[in-house]
Amino acid sequence: MDSTRAGKTWIAAHRSAVIDPHEAFKLFEVRSFTDQTVRQTLRPAGTGEALRVHLSNRYGRTPLEIGGAHLARRTEGSTIDPTTDVTLLFTGAETVTIPAGEEITSDPVESTVTAGEELALSLYLPGDTGLTTHSAIPYDVGHAVPGDQLTAESLDETDELITGHFITGIDVLAPENTRIAVAFGDSWIEGMATTPGTGGSFPTQLDRRLTTGWIVATGISGNRLLTDEIGAHLLARVERDVLSVPGASHVIIHTGLNDLGLPGAIAFPEPAKLPTAADLITALTTLADRLHTAGLTVIGSTIGPYAGTVYPGYDTEEGQHTRAEVNTWLLGDSHPFDAVIDIAAAVADPDRPTRIHDDYNSGDGLHVNDAGAKAIADAVDLSLLEL
């Protein structure tokens, strides 16, 4: 297929930022697969007349054998519409081995993709994958079953997967003037604690308000601005997860929460030194400058509230003081961003502004629920996203 046809180009319609399974701290159990079919659901944010899929073995320590890959429209759960099932090819072959540390892109598939539809990607993994390159919060729960069941309409007695595996993105062939935004940051971007399979995250709910372009998200739950784990820190992954995203013209950033909370968290094995406000401001300025140099419109956000969180040691007096300093700077006139979304004000309890409002609290005091994510999305001035 000619992917350079007149007036069309590849634009990112879905992205997943991935994590090294060998990190010391793990939000969820890491997985490996042997002689299993893994079916995962993706929700492309954009429409196009063809697609291609990106798979990753970035953090694998052995070659990853893909014994087959199929894509179909999902009807519900692990069930697909078999009339839409297509076989993905890799340089013309149905199987491929991805070397350790590498990634691969499928051959283009001539199939119209519609924004918001649910696609099921099925991978047959014949050999031992080793611990998988994965994302913490996929669009929906995935499914694993024994053997090669790539073409099965429905998978029975599945092992449910709460994390995503090997998938880093989908591109669609769209008009070359298409522009998109990348939501970049931590769990508030990835959608931790929103309802799986509903598109309840803040970026997805904001995307529904747009009339042109769309939003893809590269959040990592537990991610930090300055320090690795969970995932590479933002300054280290900005090239891969923002600047290399085709079609990106805007970026929305939420970060700093875990820089302030994880150093004191009892569950975290090797806490880093709590950064000062000056440390975070310097790093945010460096990040904004790098993105501006690449020609992007850069939208920052205040650090969300988290006082009273259930996670022991996360909420400290020093961390709250630093958060207040950074947010004051972000709401002032000296920050380097093109605009700042006041995420904190959108979801804070007005009587206790360091806490998430009860109506928006997921229950852990650190993450918002679907209603809280909608409140953030509704607080965004759409003139900031003229895509």
Q: Quick check: helix, strand or coil at residue 190?
A: helix
Q: Are 105 and 88 in contact (CB under 8 A)?
A: no
Query: Quick one: pLDDT at residue 52?
Result: 99
What is the spatial distance between Cα 186 and Cα 220, in angstroms, rounded to a whole number?
5
pTM for this entry: 0.97
Q: What are 295-352's pLDDT values in tens digits?
A: 999 999 999 999 999 999 999 999 999 999 999 999 999 999 999 999 999 999 999 9
Residue 271 pLDDT class (50, 70, 90 cuts)? low
Residue 270 pLDDT class (50, 70, 90 cuts)? low
What is the spatial distance between Cα 212 and Cα 11, in angstroms, rounded to a whole number?
14
Contact partners, residue 165, CB within 8 Å, separation at least 6: 31, 33, 38, 40, 123, 132, 133, 134, 135, 142
Contact partners, residue 120, CB within 8 Å, separation at least 6: 39, 40, 41, 42, 71, 72, 73, 74, 78, 80
Q: What are 20-67's pLDDT values in tens digits?
A: 999 998 889 999 999 999 999 999 999 999 999 999 999 999 999 999
Question: Is the pLDDT reported for residue 1 higher than 80?
Answer: no
Q: What is the mean pLDDT of residues 72-94?
A: 98
Q: Are 230 and 269 in contact (CB under 8 A)?
A: no
What is the spatial distance between Cα 194 and Cα 362, in angstroms, rounded to a whole number?
8
Q: What are 179-190's pLDDT values in tens digits?
A: 999 999 999 999
Comparing 3 with 127, the larger pLDDT belongs to 127
Query: Quick one: pLDDT at residue 5?
Result: 79
b/e sequence 211-241, b meaning 16+ C-beta within 10 Å: eebbbbbbbbbbbbbbbebbbbbbbebbebb
CA distance readout (Å), 244 to 175, 184, 330: 18, 13, 26
Query: Quick one: pLDDT at residue 269?
Result: 65
Q: Which is it for strands 180-185 and 214-219: parallel, antiparallel or unpaired?
A: parallel
Q: What percent of the chain has pLDDT over 70?
A: 98
Question: Is the pLDDT reported for residue 4 higher than 70?
Answer: no
Q: Quick check: helix, strand or coil at residue 252?
A: strand
Query: Quick one: pLDDT at residue 221?
Result: 98
Residue 349's H or E segment, with its range, is strand 348-349
